[in-house]
Amino acid sequence: MYSIEEKITKVLENKKIKFSDLIALPGDASERKYFKIKHNKTNLILMYDKNDKNLKKFLKVSKILEKKVTIPKIIKDLREDKVLLLEDFGDTEYSKFSGDRTKRKYYRFAIDAIVKIQKSCFNLPSYSIREFLKESNLFFEWYAPTRNKKLKLKINNLLTNLIKITQGLPKVFVHRDYHINNLFFLNSRDNHFKCGWIDYQDALLGPCVYDIVSLTQDARVDVSKEIEKFVIEYYLNESPHIDKKLFNYSYSVIAIQRHMKVLGIFSRLAKRDGKKKYLSHIPRVKKMLISNLQKEEFTELHGFLLDLIKNG
C-alpha cells in the first residue's frame, strides 16, 4: 500500500515533472490533502483529492471565478491522477494580520471582492432550504443527539420559516467558507484583486448575507464587535440596493443556522475522525450561537435550543 506522498511522487515522475521539497501542509476539515512543492525554482501548491466529483467542482468554480476575483492559477491539471498543481499565494493568510486598525484594510478588500462577484450571474446550484436544514441537522446528529423527535421537528419547522425569510435577499454567488484562513492578502495586485481566495469549490447561489456572516462570525478566531460592525456597514454602503432591515434580520438567521452546522461538523471531526483540535473552537461557536438566539425575534427557538446547546 502506497502512502499519498508515494502516489504523488509516482504521478509527477510519470509526467516528467521535476520537483523537490514535497511538504505536507496542515489539513482543513475535508479529505483533500495539500502539499507545497518546488517546481522550476517556484513554490507551488499541490492539491490531492481522490474524489473525482470534488475535483470537477473545483475546476468548474475556478473557471467561473477566474478574472473576476483572485484565485490560484492552475499550473498543471492532472485530474486523471487526482492531482492539481496550483499557484502558491505564499505566507500571506489574513489570519497572520492583527490589530483592528490594520484589519480594517484587509477586511475592506475582502468585502470589495464579495461585492464584485455578487454583481455577476452564475450557473450554480441553489442553496435550497433543504440544503440548509441538512446542514443544521448535523447539530442533532453529532453535537447534541436527541431522541425527542417532536423537539427536533419543532426546531426544524421554526428554522424553515426563518430561512424562508432570508430568500427575499438577492441570490448571489456564495463561497460558503469565507473566513480568514481561506483569504490571502496580495499587496502587488490592484483593488479587490488584493484579496486571494481558496476553498471555494462548494459554492452555491444563495442569500447575499451568507459570506458576510462567515467572515464576521468566524468559528476559528475571535472577531471584535468593532470589526463586525465595520464590515456590515461597509458592505451595506457598497450595496445600496439591499434592504437593510431584511439584511440585518437574515444576518442573525444565517448565523444561527451556520453555528448549528459548525457545531455538528466540529463534533463529527473530533468523534469520528479523531481530529480533536476542532474541540477548542466549540466554546466560541456556542457563545456566538447563544448570542444570536437571545434576540427577541428568536425567543421561541432559543427556548427549544438552549439546553441542547449547553449540554452538547
Task: Report which DSSP code applies to 88.
Answer: -
**pLDDT value of position 19:** 86
Q: Kindly list the structural domains of the chain, giving each domain's residue range(s) and its CATH number in brackets, ordered by start.
A: 4-87 (3.30.200.20), 94-311 (3.90.1200.10)
> Could you say which residues of the chain have pLDDT below 70?
1-2, 27-30, 98-101
SS3 14: helix
Could you tell me the maximum CA-CA distance found in the chain, to the nearest angstrom? 63
- Alpha-carbon gap, residue 61 to 122, rounded angstroms: 10
Instruction: Give the chain's radius of gyration (CA, Å).
Output: 20
CA distance 271 to 265: 10
SS3 218: coil
Residues 142 and 241: their CA atoms lie apart, in Å, by: 39
Question: Contact 177/202 with Cβ under 8 angstroms?
Answer: yes
The full 3-state SS of 89-133, as one line of letters, equals CCCCEHHHCCCHHHHHHHHHHHHHHHHHHCCCCCCCCECCHHHHH
Res 30: pLDDT: 67
Residue closest to 172 by CA, chosen among 86, 235, 229: 235
Dist CA 157 CA 163 (whole Å):
10
Judge contact between 263 and 282, C-beta under 8 A: yes
Specify whether the CB–CB gap between 127 and 207 falls below 8 A.
yes
pLDDT of the residue at 188: 94
Q: Please, where are the H alpha helices in 195-295?
A: 210-216, 225-238, 244-271, 282-293
- CB of 126 within 8 A of CB of 204? yes
Query: What is the rounded CA–CA span in Å between residue 249 and residue 266?
Result: 26
d(CA 64, CA 120): 10
Cα–Cα distance, 80 to 66 (Å, whole number): 22
What is the per-residue pLDDT across 39-89, written as a single tens digit (0 to 9) for each?
888 999 999 998 889 999 999 999 999 999 999 999 999 999 999 999 999
